[in-house]
Amino acid sequence: MHIKLYKGDAMRSTVTIEKTMLDELLTETHAKSKASAVKVAISDYLRRRRKDKIKSMKGKLEFDLTAEELRHFER
């Protein structure tokens, strides 16, 4: 799995994180550095939030095309 860790400009930041929490994060992400582990965690969190927002729209959108028509729709 490849995760793009940042887009555009990067920014340095100082945060305080409990040692046990950071150790667990390093173990779970298999990251080589603390910074990489935090970037992966943030990326995963944001991806899940976007997914939840899309799921919340279920039943609120109307489509004029059927699934079959969408499959063969020219882009």
How many independent structural domains does the chain possess?
Answer: 1
Which range has the worst mean pLDDT, 6-10, 37-41, 58-62?
6-10
| Rounded Cα distance, 44 and 38, in Å | 10
1, part of any domain: no
Entry pTM: 0.67
Which range has the worst mean pLDDT, 35-39, 45-49, 54-58, 65-69?
65-69
Q: Which residue shows structure tokens 């340095």?
A: 12
Are residues 46 and 6 in contact, defined by beta-carbon separation less than 8 angstroms?
Answer: no
14, part of any domain: no
Are residues 26 and 37 in contact, defined by beta-carbon separation less than 8 angstroms?
Answer: yes
Domain containing 46 equals 19-71
Burial of 64 (0-12, 13-18, 19+ CB in 10 A): exposed
Mean pLDDT to the nearest integer, 22-51:
96
Which pLDDT score is estimated for 23? 97
